[in-house]
């Protein structure tokens, strides 16, 4: 029985090591998770022909880190604090590393921009 379990584990390890997921697929999964969070928390801003879907905390941190393999971060200081920004297309993920008072913080947010045109306008 032990030998059978060892063989099964070995086959599982060998099989899963050959199934590789691309960086693009991982990023898409992160974007989908962000969109799901935005829709369930009603974090959707309607700017006429553009919808901005936002996610925070866990989902945003995961997507920010996925993007880190391809997108370099830009450090930006503004009135809200210091941020590491990772823009991609019309979208961006942000990691706030200092608040407005200069205190260290660890906040994440991603804004996904969906251009819908005038088809959804009233």
Cα–Cα distance between 102 and 82 in angstroms, integer? 8
Tens digit of pLDDT per residue, the chain (122 long)? 344 333 333 444 444 444 577 888 888 999 999 999 999 999 999 988 999 999 999 999 999 999 988 899 999 999 999 999 999 999 999 999 999 999 999 999 999 999 988 776 66
Tokens of 76: 């930006």
Token pair recorded at residue 7: 């063989």
User: For position 122, what pLDDT does the model report?
Assistant: 62
For residues 6 and 9, give the distance between their C-alpha atoms in angstroms, rounded to a whole number. Answer: 5
Q: In this predicted structure, what is the pLDDT of residue 37?
A: 96
Q: What is residue 106's DSSP assignment?
A: E
pTM across the whole model: 0.77
Query: What three-state secondary structure class fits 104?
Result: strand
Delimit the domains of the chain by residue range. Answer: 23-120
């Amino acid at each position: 029985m032990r030998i059978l379990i060892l063989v099964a584990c070995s086959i599982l390890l060998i099989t899963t090591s050959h199934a590789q997921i691309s960086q693009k697929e991982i990023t898409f999964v992160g974007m989908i998770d962000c969109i799901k969070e935005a829709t369930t928390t009603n974090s959707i801003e309607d700017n006429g022909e553009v919808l901005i879907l936002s996610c925070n905390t866990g989902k945003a941190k995961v997507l920010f880190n996925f993007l880190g393999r391809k997108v370099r971060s830009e450090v930006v200081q503004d009135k809200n604090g210091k941020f590491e920004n990772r823009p991609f297309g019309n979208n961006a993920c942000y990691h706030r590393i200092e608040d407005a008072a200069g205190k260290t913080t660890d906040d994440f947010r991603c804004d996904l921009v969906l251009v819908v045109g005038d088809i959804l306008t009233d």
